[in-house]
Each structure stands twice: as structure tokens, then as C-alpha cells.
Structure 1
């Protein structure tokens, strides 16, 4: 995926708006096996142990209730499972998987890349292209639902910020609305990934909760927490960011520290720590 501004990482692999939770949202089920109908998205629990496994699936630790895995993987058994899809950029070196006109191009007709991760940026500037991109991503999301995932994390929502000479904030929100609509039709909750600047447009975009990278490091946790009633999954990649988030938000948000490449357990460099969970649903 891609590197956010301020050298923030949007993981690789395969402001404050106090928006109240709606009455309908408050009635959503929180965990697999609830009494919610199949069409109702289930929200993740608050302030719980979780793991970000997009670099490879492995057996979760005993303290884990929520797991994020790539859409090519299976969900974690008996846990709240979130399916990762790259929705605003191609996978690394996978631009040929997309129709040529769906790749963003510069004035010379060359494909625009997120150079940090070798990903082609998708062209979300027209309604037609957004729909066609959503057709592709929607197939991945449908597969996620069929596998038993409860939610989906569409990555690179913040592409508009990093490539603002091409893509507007309105383009990003319109693309998000297309994706959340399809996700909800499948019974999936849909996460806002980063882009704290857009929390005040949550209703337009249709997101249900947040996956936020380095919100402690960049002093952004309050923005997400206020907009999403603390239903925020935070991943920090640095000691300082992790300590800040745990001390300020560890009793309200779900916080995990991971290694930058989100390696599976057993690989050299693997890191995973959770803040103590002192609250939950």
C-alpha cells in the first residue's frame, strides 16, 4: 500500500468532529454470532486486544478479539475478523491487473506511482471510473463476506492528500461512499483508514469505524475517537507513538504495536504488543 504524509506508513501487502452514533448504529451487533440479521453490519468491540496480520496470517494471541487479514486469507476462527483490500491503489507491481484507463496518469500519460511501495494510483476522478474500480474491489469484498469476515478495511483513502495535484477530497469521499454502499449490502462494516481530515465527512462516506495508523505519534487520536465514539483500532509502529497512545487512549481505544512490515509471527523482526484492555463492550 502506500506511505502516508509525515512518513506515516500505510502497511505493505498481496479536525475533530463529534459525530454521534445513530440510533440504528447503536443497535448493531458487536460480535460474531449475535442476533443481528445477515444484512446488518457488525461493529468491532471497543478497547480490546487486536492484531494487524496483513503481512501473513498466524494464530492470534489469547488476548486478541479482533484480527485484520488480507482478503486472500481466511478469517480468524471465532474472532471479529476484518478483511483488508487495497481500494485506492494497485498492489505492488500489479498495475497490469487493472484496465489501463483506471490507472492515474500524469500530463505525459505516464502512470502515477506511490513510489514508496511500488503501487500504481487508481484514477477515481469520474463517476464511471469509481464505479468500475468498485466493481473490482466489490468482488474482493463479496469474497470476504462469503469467507465469514465481519468487516472490510479499504486502504489508501488518504491518496487524495498525497496526490492532491490530481485527486480531490471530494473524489475520495465519493469513492468511499461507493465502497461502503457495496460493503453494507454485503453485511460488512466498513472502516475508514487514516485521513483524519475527513472525519467530519463520515456520514457522506458511510464509514462505521476506524483503522488508524500512528494516531498517537501524530496527535490525531482525538479526531478519530470523537467522530467514531471510540470505535477505533490503532496500530503504532514506533515506541514513542505506542507509549503515547497507550498512556492517553489505552483505556478507550484498541491499540497494537506492530513491526513496520507487519510480519507474521516467527519471522525475524516480528513485533506485537497490545495496551492493557481496561474497557470494552
Structure 2
């Protein structure tokens, strides 16, 4: 998670969901999209070409030519596009912290003193505990309702943020534990008719697709961090890259001229605000 896009609406919806978490079945997503790839086992994978937009800071009418839109799980999919649903899968949303600690305390990672372990960069987000099968099953159960809602609303896909939380856990979590949870979430997403995207985590290489079951990638700043080839070697053209205007160290034109970047690369403002804001940035190659 390289951008801060925690919404009050997200947290409020998650609080409501947590109280009634379960594996509610949903009809396979017929999808809001017209930009399609071949369907696989009841879900439709990310198209290999198109123009994406990343709307986590608030839903708005997609700019002209946009064919792929990612929105928060509390929003509705953008009509006429391939739509991706955002879910925080490995850390808690700030306003949902009380619900997690009260209703699902064993799902929270804790230090030796019993205090919750938070993301060092975002201390109001607690890390979820992926160390045992029982804890992973509980987390999956809690998130399953949100995943089902994504399918019910007509999203085509879901991506789970903070997959790499083990790298910020002070060595308490492991890659294996996080990937075991990821595989459970992928299975749940597929069951609800959704393709499932890997978020960041270039160190997985092809194993994210081959072993965990991810279908595509949503990367942040892979040009900036010189990570794009790790994704494109594993997923080919099914990679979306979001660069941020506040940290980009080269001109946008030079980014677009790079042959190493994913074809579906866009530039956004860090807070992913709507066009009505003076801070809004959206560019594409």
C-alpha cells in the first residue's frame, strides 16, 4: 500500500459487514463491463488491453476512453467498464478498529505484550494475523461478506490490498502465512464470480499466479521503483500500473516512451480525488 486511500464510507460499511460476516453466496457477476477477456471457470479475467482509472478516493463518471475502473467495495461498479472492487485484505481500516478488536480480537496480530501491531507507515491500521490456519479462516469469514457484495453489485474482479503486510510486521508474519490467506481469499473471490488481482508484491514472481491463483496485477509505481518486469514476466499484459504525480522522477512523456512499462499505465494524484478537486490528476499513455 503505497498510497493512503482510507475512506470513511469504506470503514462504515466494513463495520456493518463485520457484524454479520459469513460466506453468503452470490450469483456470478454478469459484470457491468463491455471490455472483456475470455471467461474462466465462471469469472471474467482482466482484459489484456484498455484504459484504466483508479477511483478509490471517490466514484465519478469515467473520463472519455476509460474501459477499466477500480472503485472501493462500498461503491457501485462503473457502467460499461470492466470493474474492479477494492478490499483491504490484510490490515484493518481505521474506523473499523473497534469492531475488529471487540468482535474478532484473535484476528489481530499482537506483540509479546499483547498490544496490536500496526503498520509503521500508517499506525491507525492494525495488521491481521495470518500465522495459523484458524486465524486465516476467521479473516476469510469476516471478509467473505464484502467479497460477496462485490459480486452482487456486478463487479468483475476484486483486489486485496496489503498482501505484503508481512514485510512490515517486525518478522512476526511470514510470506507463507500471507500467501495462504491470499489463496483462501482468491478461492472465495472466484466462488463469487470474480477474477482476483494481486496487489504490488513483485517478489512473488510467477508464483502469485501459478501457486496462489491470482489472475492479474494492480501495481503502484512499478516504473518509479523499477519493478514492472517482475509483473509483466508473470502476468503478461494483464498488469495495471498506477504512478503518482507527487513522486514521479521523470516526465510523463518519458514514462510513456518506456518499452518496459505495462501497456495499461496511468498517472494519478496521491489521494485519488475526484475531478472536482484542484488536486486531481489523471493521465494515460
Alignment partner of 1:210: what SS?
A: strand
The answer on whether the counterparts of 2:196 and 2:215 sit within 8 Å (CA) in structure 1 is yes
| 1:219 and 2:226 aligned | yes
1:9 CA drift (Å):
3.1
Alignment partner of 1:257: what SS?
A: strand
The answer on whether the counterparts of 1:47 and 1:250 sit within 8 Å (CA) in structure 2 is no
The answer on whether the counterparts of 1:46 and 1:252 sit within 8 Å (CA) in structure 2 is no
Alignment partner of 1:120: what SS?
A: coil
Alpha carbons of structure 1 residues 38 and 222: separation in structure 2 relative to 1, 3 Å: closer
The runs of 5 or more residues in structure 1 that have no matched partner are 3-7, 15-28, 276-281
* Moved segments of 4+, more than 6 Å: 33-38
Structure ranking higher on relative contact order (CA contacts 8 Å, 6+ apart): 1
Map Cα deviations across residues 191-223 of structure 1 (whole Å, 9 max, x no partner): 000000012322221100000000001110001
Alignment partner of 1:149: what SS?
A: coil
The answer on whether the counterparts of 2:229 and 2:260 sit within 8 Å (CA) in structure 1 is no
TM-score scaled by structure 1? 0.84
CA distance in 2: counterparts of 1:149 and 1:267, whole angstroms: 26
| 1:73 and 2:75 aligned | yes
Alpha carbons of structure 1 residues 127 and 242: separation in structure 2 relative to 1, 3 Å: farther
| 1:193 and 2:199 aligned | yes
CA distance in 1: counterparts of 2:206 and 2:273, whole angstroms: 33
- Which residue is equivalent to 2:133? 127
**Aligned counterpart in structure 2 of residue 108 of structure 1, from 110, 113, 116:** 113
Alpha carbons of structure 1 residues 168 and 66: separation in structure 2 relative to 1, 3 Å: same
**Aligned counterpart in structure 2 of residue 240 of structure 1, from 229, 245, 249:** 249
1:48 CA drift (Å):
2.1
The runs of 5 or more residues in structure 2 that have no matched partner are 11-30
1:119 CA drift (Å):
0.8
Alpha carbons of structure 1 residues 186 and 57: separation in structure 2 relative to 1, 3 Å: same
| 1:139 and 2:148 aligned | no
Alignment partner of 1:173: what SS?
A: helix
Alignment partner of 1:122: what SS?
A: coil
Report the number of matched residues: 254
- Which residue is equivalent to 2:54? 52
The answer on whether the counterparts of 2:228 and 2:262 sit within 8 Å (CA) in structure 1 is no
When the two chains are superposed, the root-mean-square deviation of aligned CA atoms in Å is 2.3
**Range that drifts further, 220-229 or 94-103:** 94-103
The answer on whether the counterparts of 1:43 and 1:209 sit within 8 Å (CA) in structure 2 is yes
**Aligned counterpart in structure 2 of residue 82 of structure 1, from 74, 81, 84:** 84
| 1:92 and 2:94 aligned | yes
Alpha carbons of structure 1 residues 42 and 252: separation in structure 2 relative to 1, 3 Å: same
Map Cα deviations across residues 49-75 of structure 1 (whole Å, 9 max, x no partner): 111001110000011000000000000
1:257 CA drift (Å):
0.8
The answer on whether the counterparts of 1:217 and 1:242 sit within 8 Å (CA) in structure 2 is no
TM-score scaled by structure 2? 0.82
The answer on whether the counterparts of 1:212 and 1:232 sit within 8 Å (CA) in structure 2 is yes
